[in-house]
Amino acid sequence: MIQRIKGTMDILPNETPLFRYIEGIMREEAEKYGYGEIRTPTFENTELFVRGVGDTTDVVQKEMYTFADRDENRSISLRPEGTASVARAIIENGKCSDPMPLKYYYIISCFRHEKPQAGRSREFFQFGTETFGSDNPASDATVISLAASVLRRLGLKNVKLHINSIGCKECRPVYREALVKHFDAKKGCLCDSCKDRLNKNPLRLLDCKNPDCHAIALEAPRTVDHLCPECEGKFKMLCSALDAMGIDYVVDPSIVRGLDYYTGAVFEFIAEGIGAQSTVCGGGRYDGLVESLGGPRLSGIGFGMGITRLILAMRELGLDNITPPTPSLYIAALGERAQIEALKICERLRRAGKYVECDVVGRSLKAQMKYANKIGAAYTLIIGDSEVEAGRAQLRNMMDGEQTEVLLDSFDVL
């Protein structure tokens, strides 16, 4: 028996309504904020992610699904995230000279070779947005407001917004130095990956999950205390905007984000009660990304929201009970003539936009009625030879058992 690949999932029809419900809210909110949907390829040249995500990141170093293309001499990777592809697409499609800002959203699957566990899979589903062409904190506040409004509509009262600023090209080097100094003094207590990351990407040490590293990180210098006047001003304005918009947040110096391209404001929405994989949404500013991919200097900000983690958070509050639609009518048919009549009625009602079903298996009446109950049909109609002959049958309301006589050629259901 061939089984699915570890870390992937089959989402069956009893679960897809919940996904569709969540995705529907995402689409509605994104479009309400003026975002247009973009669809980019599932795989790209590996180089795009090496440059766009960053070659010091875990995503690029350890987690990408990379393979040689069959007939061409090039390396290809399944997308581990959505931002790099969107940045490439706007450059390639000549969008960088359009009126700003550019606003895109997507609902995609991403692929990362990580250790599968609750809230962490190898193929996962993400709602993402990207905004290009504004470095004004008003756009940060709008993007955060969009993410918050999706979470609010889903009813996720157990999710909190954490924000931070990780500075820019000007202030990062000074901060970096202070950080390396802090961790270097306690190098002996750090985990192996943090020892390794210390000189390559010291910011990453701040969100290491190892308890010893975490304790040292708590004492570390804070980015917000090392911001240049420009970054500080922008961060203050973001905070004032969020205050004015009534969006609750905490300033959290441990939020640094995993990917290399982030600059300035970064944020995460963190759910309580769903275990270690608690970040349901992560995002921030990436002002250098478009330029680093060969485009013009164009600032950007975006987020990615993990759909399966949202479901965990919804389950925690009992909000995940979205049921599949049920038919208005089930027609039980006995005999060949009745079967054809049932198909004819189904066809007529389906063309009129109704969700109806009839037996197509040729079961006994008892089995057909059991099935009608199981699928939750609101009404049933039982037809045999005599009903077809008369052109009439009894329509039974499954809630109260009440029966009404209807004309087979013309009756309707809700």
> Which one-letter DSSP state was computed for residue 7?
T
The answer to whether 127 touches 81, Cβ cutoff 8 Å, is: no
Alpha helices in 258-411 (DSSP H): 289-292, 307-316, 336-351, 365-374, 385-390
Asked if 121 is part of the footprint of ligand ATP (rule: CB under 6 A), the reply reads: yes
Give the range of 230-238, 306-314, 331-339, 354-362 binding ligand ATP by CB under 6 A. 306-314
In the block, tokens 């490439």 appear at 88
DSSP label at 14?
T
Question: 199 burial class (0-12, 13-18, 19+ CB within 10 angstroms)?
Answer: exposed
Contact between 54 and ligand ATP per CB under 6 A: no
Report the distance separating Cα 320 and Cα 309, nearest Å: 12
Q: Which window, 111-119, 213-221, 225-233, 367-375, contacts ligand ATP (CB under 6 A)?
A: 111-119
Q: By CB under 6 A, which span of 154-162, 198-206, 219-227, 301-309 interacts with ligand ATP?
A: 301-309
Binding residue (CB under 6 A) for ligand ATP from 27, 95, 113, 120: 120
Residues in CB range of 350: below 8 A, 6 or more apart: 356
By CB under 6 A, name the one of 280, 342, 356, 388 that touches ligand ATP: 280
The least CB distance from residue 341 to ligand ATP, in Å, is 50
Asked if 281 is part of the footprint of ligand ATP (rule: CB under 6 A), the reply reads yes
The span from the CA of 290 to the CA of 130, in Å, is 12
> What is the residue whose two structure tokens read 């993410």?
147
- Considering only 193-201, 274-282, 320-328, 402-410, which stretch makes contact with ligand ATP by CB under 6 A? 274-282
Q: Which stretch binds ligand ATP (CB under 6 A): 119-127, 167-175, 227-235, 361-369?
A: 119-127
Q: Distance between CA atoms of 143 and 131, rounded to whole angstroms? A: 8
- Minimum Å gap between C-beta 197 and ligand ATP is 14
Asked if 124 is part of the footprint of ligand ATP (rule: CB under 6 A), the reply reads: yes
* Contact predicate 130/83, CB 8 Å: yes
Residues 161, 238: Cα–Cα separation, whole Å:
13
Task: Please give the single-letter amino acid code of residue 118.
Answer: A
Indicate which single residue of 277, 292, 328, 394 sits in contact with ligand ATP (rule: CB under 6 A).
277
Query: Residue number with the shortest CB distance to ligand ATP?
Result: 306
- Measuring CA to CA, which residue among 376, 383, 326, 381 is closest to residue 354? 326
Q: Shortest approach of ligand ATP to residue 124 CB, angstroms?
A: 3
Contact present, 386 and 368 (Cβ < 8 Å): no
- Least distance to ligand ATP from the beta carbon of 44, Å? 16
CB of 120 to ligand ATP, least distance (A): 4
The correct pick among 44, 81, 140, 260 for binding ligand ATP (CB under 6 A) is: 81
Task: Work out how close the CB of 378 gets to ligand ATP at its nearest, in angstroms, rounded to a whole number.
Answer: 38
* Residue 311 interacts with ligand ATP (CB under 6 A): yes or no: no
Q: Considering beta carbons, is residue 137 or 304 the nearer one to ligand ATP?
A: 304
Sheet holding 43-45, edge to edge: 43-45, 75-78, 66-68
CB atoms within 10 A of CB 399: 8
Q: How many whole angstroms separate alpha carbon 292 and alpha carbon 223?
A: 24
Site string (225-264) toward ligand ATP, x via CB under 6 A:
---------------------------------x------
Measure the CA–CA gap between 40 and 261, rounded to whole angstroms: 20
Among 54, 309, 314, 359, binds ligand ATP (CB under 6 A): 309
Name which position in 40, 46, 165, 308 contacts ligand ATP (CB under 6 A). Answer: 308
Shortest approach of ligand ATP to residue 161 CB, angstroms?
13
Per CB under 6 A, does 197 bind ligand ATP? no
Report the residue number, 17 or 258, with the smaller CB distance to ligand ATP. Answer: 258
Crossing angle of helices 172-184/192-200, nearest 10°?
150
Window of 71-79, 120-128, 194-202, 339-347 that interacts with ligand ATP by CB under 6 A: 120-128
Residue 101, preceding bond cis, omega within 30 degrees?
Answer: yes
Q: Which residues contact 374 (CB under 8 A, 6 or more apart)?
A: none
**Nearest Cα residue to 80 out of 43, 130, 115:** 43
Choice between 119 and 288, CB closer to ligand ATP: 119
Is 90 a residue that touches ligand ATP (CB under 6 A)? no
Residues that bind ligand ATP (CB under 6 A): 81, 112, 114, 119-121, 124, 126, 258, 277, 279-282, 304, 306, 308-309
